């Protein structure tokens, strides 16, 4: 794929994300607290998360292995950062999930498709299309890399902490819904989403790439409308207890 074709691919992905962003304000993605029978056949939440997230981990591994630049310090660092996230998301996070929730196969399939495309999008740029003079060793001390790395790991840790808080809201056997109160949940009702957005904003900055920026846009397009739906649901269930909490961006939205 030439750089021009790749940029066209990025443009199409960005346009699709715009449609997704708008659509999700009208249609609630049917997983988690919004799952309904209308989404069709569903499978175990744990299995669905593994099957949905593992493909991008595998795609990045394959693309890295076949790249002649795979052991260049900056390229290898990017690879490790990305894989740390997806190893946790595909092989650790699902095993920590509690309860017997299910995910519709339709939702899982859409997630698999996006992850395959995104893995290709990130790997193609980093391992093959980026100018050879761009990611030299000096990149590791550049403001882009330092600021981006700080945001990337701050967002990752916030996401992990927020997931931990959510997992421990219920006692065994309890199926009721609760309003999270700890950590960043003091300020937003979707602190886990805020962490993930910060993380991929860091990725876009530390790689200084259009592919990273498109991934950030997809993250926002997918998570911000869902955060709005969760906020509205909490308003219905808990009323004034939600207080001044915003949806996903502290003090803003």
The per-residue pLDDT for 170 is 77
pTM over 0.85: yes
Residue 253 lies in a domain: no
The per-residue pLDDT for 34 is 61
Most confident of 172-181, 197-206, 239-248: 197-206
Residue 250 lies in a domain: no
Residues 47-102 pLDDT 10s: 999 999 999 999 999 999 999 999 999 999 999 999 999 999 999 999 998 877 88
pLDDT at 234 over 80: yes
Residue 156 lies in a domain: yes
Residue 248 lies in a domain: no
Residues 129-141 pLDDT 10s: 999 999 999 999 9
Domain count, the chain: 1
Residue 26 lies in a domain: yes
The per-residue pLDDT for 32 is 60
Q: How far is CA 91 from the centre of its chain?
A: 15
The per-residue pLDDT for 35 is 56
Residue 249 lies in a domain: no
What percentage of the chain exceeds 70 in pLDDT? 94
Residue 208 lies in a domain: yes
Residue 251 lies in a domain: no
pLDDT band with cut points at 50, 70 and 90 for residue 40: confident
pLDDT at 30 over 60: no
pLDDT at 163 over 90: yes
Query: How high does pLDDT run on average in the chain?
Result: 92
Domain range for residue 80? 3-242
The per-residue pLDDT for 101 is 82
pLDDT at 147 over 90: yes
The per-residue pLDDT for 28 is 73
At 72, give phi and psi (nearest 5°): -65, 135
């Amino acid at each position: 794929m030439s750089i021009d074709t790749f940029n066209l691919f990025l443009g199409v992905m960005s346009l699709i994300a715009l449609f997704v962003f708008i659509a999700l304000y009208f249609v609630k993605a049917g997983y988690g607290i919004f799952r309904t029978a209308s989404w069709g056949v569903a499978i175990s939440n744990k299995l669905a998360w593994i099957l949905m997230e593992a493909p991008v981990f595998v795609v990045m591994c394959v693309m890295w292995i076949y790249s002649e630049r795979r052991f260049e310090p900056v390229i290898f660092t990017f690879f490790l950062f990305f894989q740390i996230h997806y190893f946790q998301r595909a092989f650790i996070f699902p095993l920590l999930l509690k309860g017997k929730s299910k995910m519709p196969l339709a939702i899982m399939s859409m997630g698999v498709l996006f992850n395959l495309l995104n893995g290709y999008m990130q790997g193609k740029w980093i391992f093959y299309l980026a100018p050879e003079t761009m990611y030299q060793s000096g990149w590791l001390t550049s403001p882009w890399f330092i600021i981006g790395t700080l945001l990337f790991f701050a967002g990752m840790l916030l996401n992990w902490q927020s997931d931990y808080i959510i997992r421990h809201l219920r006692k065994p056997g309890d199926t009721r819904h609760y309003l999270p109160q700890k950590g960043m949940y003091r300020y937003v009702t979707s602190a886990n989403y805020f962490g993930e957005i910060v993380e991929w904003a860091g990725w876009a900055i530390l790689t200084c790439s259009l592919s990273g920026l498109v991934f950030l846009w997809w993250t926002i397009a997918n998570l911000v409308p869902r955060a709005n739906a969760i906020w509205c649901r909490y308003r219905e269930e808990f009323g004034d207890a939600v207080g001044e909490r915003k949806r996903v961006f502290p003090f803003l939205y």
